[in-house]
Chain A
Amino acid sequence: MKNDHKSYMQQLLQEIQAETMEASLMEVCGTHTMAIARSGIRSLVPPNLKLLSGPGCPVCVTAQGDIDGVIELVREPGITLLTFGDMMRVPGTESSLQEERSKGADIRVVYSPLDALTAAKSMPDREVVFLGIGFETTAPAVAITVEEAMENGIHNFSLFSLHKLVPPALEIIFSDPNINVDGLICPGHVAAVTGVEPYRLLAEKYGKPCVITGFEAMDILEGVVMLLRQLHQDKATVEIQYRRVVKKEGNLVAQATLKRVFQATEARWRGLSSIPGTGLKLRPAYEEMDARKKFGVREIEDVPIKGCACGEVLTGKITPHDCALFGKGCTPLRPIGPCMVSQEGACAAYYRYTPLRD
């Protein structure tokens, strides 16, 4: 069985390597970026096929000013901030959560948003703020947490939402004439929630094939083969490679939960500026749990970082190697731009895993 698996992957690889067409395929999910880097797929595809990384890492697209706002909040006495480990090193303008923790702020890493609820219950004298980050995959879990806090009357719990939506951001990429993408490797776990509909609309409107893909090396190879076959047949439809998880209609319970708790709002994306309708904020019924409102967090302007090309990297206009700071001023240990911070950031993935062949 294991050998079958291996030889099947080799067959997929052969088909990809025999491809002569010029094509740029974009993976929009950071987990794909990471899986491609870790398995070394990028170094195996022929030079006529480009695998670009899109804006699919929620850490990377978090605006600097948003981080600055969170930092102002954790400096207040009585605040305990809980978040996913991913956020600890993301640089704001002058500091990061990791740095604030070392200066005495109460910041803790959790695995699940429900852990934040448990923390709030156990520390009734502190204000427990959960820093919510992530796309459609993570947001329903956070929505359930907010509902549970409300039901159980946990008034010292609140949410600082940095949640964002994927399909509208993809729309930006497809509609930008300067961005040259022939097909999309679509995020399997986001689609598990949203279903295929948003991608079908994209594929049809912009005439680009979309394949919803899983995260094993074999999944990604299959996804690439499926995209290439569509391109050969001049098709532009949405297909599901990740059939074991993604259902056509998505997870209806998760969709309904999202709708009950959140509403779309304007959000700032690092490198893409502010885009209406791409963020999630709590609905009025849950407003008392909105940390920004509860603590009067002010909006802080983004200060552009000199020389940082994360915006171009996130939209696939350039690859990380083309950025002047890459590997020089900007490394995973001392990141300047967000793409170098997150494990899933395109720059970090390139820096960590790609031998210096290109």
Chain B
Amino acid sequence: MCLGVPGKILQIMEHGVARVDVDGNQTDISIKLTPEVELGQFVLIHAGFAMEIIDQEVAEETMYLLKELLQYEE
């Protein structure tokens, strides 16, 4: 129901607007729903708004179930 893509905050501007990079494209979005967002962070973009800040550490730590999975198989 809700498409969302990650974008990286490039610039924080006036009136709760930020410029983001989405895979090499740029767009201006509202950050009024994530007022604490900082430069360089990734946000989830939906309908021109940052809906949530993406936790980069968790995002990079993919294969979340892998450890458990191996135990499971053992």
Contact = CB atoms under 8 A, between A and B. Distances in A.
Interface of A: 4-5, 8, 11-12, 15, 29-31, 56-58, 84, 111-115, 134-135, 137-138, 140-141, 144, 187, 189-190, 192-193, 215, 218, 222, 225-226, 229, 241, 243-247, 251, 253-254, 257, 344
A67 to B, nearest CB: 18
A62 B59 CA distance: 34
B63 A137 contact: no
A-B pairs, 9 with minimum CB distance: A112-B48, A137-B2, A189-B2, A244-B59, A141-B49, A244-B58, A30-B1, A192-B52, A8-B63
Contact of A144 (B30, B46, B52): B30
B33 interface: yes
A140 B44 contact: no
A12 B62 CA distance: 13
B47 A5 contact: no
B62 A137 contact: no
Nearest to B4: A189
B1 A344 contact: yes
Interface of B: 1-4, 29-30, 32-35, 44, 46-49, 51-52, 54-56, 58-59, 62-66, 69, 72
18 contacts: A11-B69, A12-B65, A12-B69, A15-B72, A57-B1, A111-B48, A114-B30, A134-B47, A138-B46, A141-B51, A144-B32, A144-B33, A190-B1, A218-B62, A222-B65, A243-B55, A245-B4, A257-B32
Contact of B34 (A30, A243, A253): A253
A135 B46 CA distance: 12
B15 to A, nearest CB: 9
A141 B54 contact: no
B65 A56 contact: no
Contact of B65 (A31, A137, A190, A225): A225
B63 A84 contact: no
Contacts of A15: 69, 72
A112 B49 contact: yes
A337 B17 CA distance: 39
